[in-house]
Chain A
């Protein structure tokens, strides 16, 4: 962790294999696109902006260079919206358990 100038946790993306470099026996839709990698780590190039080339140092100590995606990484996954189809399961089964029938 000696080289980073601040504890700025960022994400970069780089191409590992171009479509021409990809393995032979894979589906056509996969072969038509590059194999890309995303990795997060501490930013080594303090002035880099999203879209710039930037280097990171990962928690394992390795250094990767790639295109800076975000300067502030935030998980993009969540819980999704409630669905009526699922919300009905609990109350319906509780009624069935009491012997009230399911419908």
Chain B
């Protein structure tokens, strides 16, 4: 395979394999008509619900976390400590909310006559695509980054690969490297399969039902919409789909809080850093770059655009997520996988500042098991010389030391400045675009969920800094 040659055919391969004419939605300058692109699937929300029900997807329980709420209140100021709920997305067929994301790609591929579906992902999404395609009687190929140059596999990714295979997928497990994208493109070209990318409007629209359901369930169970919805943030699809669903349900005032595990300092494309990460998704290695430049994805325009929807964003440490994973199992009887527990860890901190009659919803859980369990990750970390210690979050250093809190009061969050991410986006846009038309400025302001005047001021200051 010649990487440059394959990448040179990218536009045609992506158009053929998604059926989306991205150029048709583009403005003359930067950006696209976003809502028109999101509508290109041809499905409305009722149809998405109907398709998902037919596939056994959605309708998951919203569970009140009464014991964790009691703990929050025990250490909060008097009268403080919001009610905590979690949407038990592990109840979906392949064990995560990713079934929602995979449902439309599967349905669309089947009805448009594609001979199969391909997904390039190391996450639960591969298992979800394999699961949905099995139900649609379509073959599946999943391309995963799974092991380092020594052949050492990341246990969580190995489990996800096993699950893909359990649903009948061909799993191409690759060593570390961004050329995975070119491998996926070449495979799409060879097979003519549908590109079940995480970042098409199909994949993002499928998550809208999650936001809609949780808004309705929260209203039914508490009499109000949530004050905050906590979303584990990586590529942005979870944030985007959930927020859009909440708005459609009428919960437009609910605050959308993104949360990622702090993996700062570890390089995402480094062979030697690969297994020093104890989390494979929902971490800053995806969350920060995808927020500040969503179009780094595997499609010409990413439908998942977190800065449009995030009201705030914070990070937690690996040790904190392991701690809260144990707490969820032992105090709430929910033994669940890592992804949703990232936002749960932050929810337990932020709920302490809210009044007791407020509601905070953690919008996902995922299944757990071999490879995904904290002990599997910590055993690998320790075998690689990473120190496991008890102590506060400031001891945690990704790739070198994992600090598990000694007590509840050691839980915390680190805020991420969204304006700094917006500036990073603008710096990149300015480098690509040069000058901005009125339409460009309007698009960028909308894409960054900010005012046009702020965009103009920032572009001016970036221009001065760059001389």
Q: What residues make up the interface of A, taking CB atoms closer than 8 Å to B?
A: 16-17, 21-23, 26-27, 29-30, 32-41, 58-62, 75-83, 85-86, 89-94, 96-97, 99, 102-103
Residue B140 is within 8 A (CB to CB) of chain A in the complex: yes
Chain B residue at smallest Cβ distance from A99: B74
A–B pairs, 21, beta carbons within 8 Å: A16-B1, A16-B183, A30-B270, A33-B175, A37-B174, A58-B141, A60-B141, A77-B159, A78-B371, A78-B376, A81-B375, A83-B379, A85-B390, A86-B326, A86-B378, A89-B330, A89-B404, A94-B330, A97-B70, A102-B407, A102-B409
Chain A residue at smallest Cβ distance from B159: A77
Residues in A whose Cβ lies below 8 Å from that of B439: none
Determine the distance from Cα of A99 to Cα of B74 in the docked complex, in whole angstroms: 8
Q: List 5 tightest A-B contacts by C-beta distance, closest first.
A: A80-B379, A90-B330, A77-B371, A58-B170, A80-B375
- Do A33 and B388 touch across chains, with their CB atoms under 8 A apart? no
Given contacts A86-B378, A90-B329, contact A97 B67 (CB under 8 A): yes
Residues in B whose Cβ lies below 8 Å from that of A29: 270-272
- Do B171 and A39 touch across chains, with their CB atoms under 8 A apart? yes
Which of the candidate stretches B46-54, B146-154, B440-448, B453-461 sits at the interface with the other chain? B146-154
Q: Can you name 6 extra interface pairs (CB under 8 A) apart from A33-B271, A39-B172, A102-B407?
A: A17-B177, A21-B3, A26-B269, A35-B174, A75-B162, A76-B158
Q: How many residues of B contact A (CB 8 A)?
A: 65
Complex interface residues of chain B between 134 and 156 (CB less than 8 A to chain A): 139-141, 146-147, 149, 153, 155-156
- Do B172 and A30 touch across chains, with their CB atoms under 8 A apart? no
Given contacts A76-B158, A86-B322, contact A37 B172 (CB under 8 A): yes
- Do A86 and B375 touch across chains, with their CB atoms under 8 A apart? yes
Determine the distance from Cα of A62 to Cα of B169 in the docked complex, in whole angstroms: 11
- Do B378 and A59 touch across chains, with their CB atoms under 8 A apart? no
Residues in A whose Cβ lies below 8 Å from that of B162: 75, 77
Determine the distance from Cα of A79 to Cα of B174 in the docked complex, in whole angstroms: 23
Residue B71 is within 8 A (CB to CB) of chain A in the complex: yes
- Do B331 and A90 touch across chains, with their CB atoms under 8 A apart? yes
Determine the distance from Cα of A80 to Cα of B377 in the docked complex, in whole angstroms: 8
Determine the distance from Cα of A82 to Cα of B407 in the docked complex, in whole angstroms: 19
Given contacts A17-B3, A96-B71, contact A35 B177 (CB under 8 A): yes
Complex interface residues of chain B between 75 and 91 (CB less than 8 A to chain A): none
Residue B25 is within 8 A (CB to CB) of chain A in the complex: no
Determine the distance from Cα of A58 to Cα of B139 in the docked complex, in whole angstroms: 10
Chain A residue at smallest Cβ distance from B165: A40
Given contacts A33-B149, A77-B155, A77-B370, contact A27 B267 (CB under 8 A): yes
- Do B380 and A80 touch across chains, with their CB atoms under 8 A apart? yes
Residue B327 is within 8 A (CB to CB) of chain A in the complex: yes
Determine the distance from Cα of A37 to Cα of B330 in the docked complex, in whole angstroms: 39
- Do B168 and A59 touch across chains, with their CB atoms under 8 A apart? yes
- Do A60 and B407 touch across chains, with their CB atoms under 8 A apart? no
Residue B373 is within 8 A (CB to CB) of chain A in the complex: yes
Give the shortest distance, in Å, between A85 (CB) and chain B (any CB): 5
